[in-house]
Amino acid sequence: MGKIKDMPLKRAFVTLTFISLLVAILLSILSFWGIDLIRSNIMDKYYSPKNNTVLNPNIVFVDPSIFSQTDQTLLKVVDYLKLAFPLLFSILSIIAASYIFYNIKLKKPLALLKTGAKKISDNNLDFTIDLKSKDEMGDLCSSFETMRKELLNNNVKMWRLMEERKRLNAAFAHDLRTPITVLKGYTDVLESYVPMGKISQEKMISTISLMSDNVVRLEKYVDSMNSIQKLEDTDINPAEVKTSDFYSKT
């Protein structure tokens, strides 16, 4: 069975089928021998030397009418079994070969693949599929394991990217808070003192200039965030480049 386990699926199936047919033929031969033996024992009970033919003593004629009802029924049964046994043994051998083929070649890998698919659907990638087989099912399980590793790596990369984005957003939020606070303070000052005429033109121009600087600062932050977003959305197409060409572009 060890050799069959490492065979390709097609060869293993053909081998098991061939073996099953040989077994069916052997059992059929044994059944023919047993049936002929039973038939001979029945016939011997009614054998008489006077029934031999003159031309060939080996040919014996027995009158069927002298057979008992039990022996007649038994002869009919053994004649029927002589026809039925080869078919029965063939069917049983093929069923046995299919059962052995499934248990040796398919049962374990299919169970591993089914379990693995269920775990992946549950977002659980913390498992391995280890099937030491050299046939197509072994290759399939190996490919499935490779896919699982790639999914795990992609999930890790995505998690790291999300963490980086959270830190980046937190940094931008912190940097944006200062100019927004300054603008809010200057806006409150202008709303409070301009209607009352308590602020000079020179002070107003200085305040507006500071507010303009902070607005420019905010615009730079927004542009930086847009640039980072575009960079993340850019498709990467690796290509071989000569070192001299690379340095000439840097």
Question: 57 with 16, same domain?
Answer: yes
In a domain, 136, yes or no: yes
| CA dist list (Å): 95 to 21, 27, 98, 156, 211 | 11, 15, 5, 48, 88
Q: Does residue 175 belong to any structural domain of this protein?
A: yes
Residue 191 resides in a domain: yes
Same domain, 147 and 230: yes
Residue 78 and residue 130 in one domain = no
Same domain, 163 and 216: yes
- Between CA 75 and CA 43 the distance in angstroms is 9
How many Å is the maximal CA-CA distance in the chain?
154
Shared-domain flag, residues 186 and 139:
yes
The answer to whether position 202 is within a domain reads yes
pLDDT values of the chain reduced to their tens digit, one per residue, 250 residues: 657 777 788 888 888 889 999 999 999 999 889 888 888 887 777 665 544 444 444 445 555 666 778 877 888 888 888 889 889 999 999 999 999 998 888 888 899 899 989 988 888 888 888 888 778 888 888 888 889 889 889 888 888 888 887 887 777 777 777 777 777 877 877 777 777 767 777 777 777 787 787 788 777 777 777 776 665 655 666 777 777 766 676 5
Task: Give the total number of structural domains in the chain.
Answer: 2
Whole-number pLDDT of residue 26: 94
| 136 and 100 together in one domain | no
Give yes or no: residues 147 and 220 share one domain.
Answer: yes
> Do 54 and 140 fall within a single domain?
no
Query: Are residues 129 and 82 located together in one domain of the fold?
Result: no
Rounded to the nearest 5°, which phi and psi values hold at 52? -65, 145
Say what the pLDDT of residue 25 is: 92
Q: What is the residue range of 17's domain?
A: 2-106
- Do the domain assignments include residue 72? yes
My answer on whether 176 and 134 are in the same domain is yes
| Same domain, residue pair 187 and 133 | yes
Query: In this structure, is residue 81 part of a structural domain?
Result: yes
Task: Say which residues have a Cβ less than 8 Å from residue 31's Cβ, sequence separation at least 6.
Answer: 81, 82, 85, 86, 89
Is there a domain that residue 250 lies in? no
- The Cα 245–Cα 163 span in angstroms is 35
In degrees rounded to 5, what are phi and psi of residue 123?
60, 35
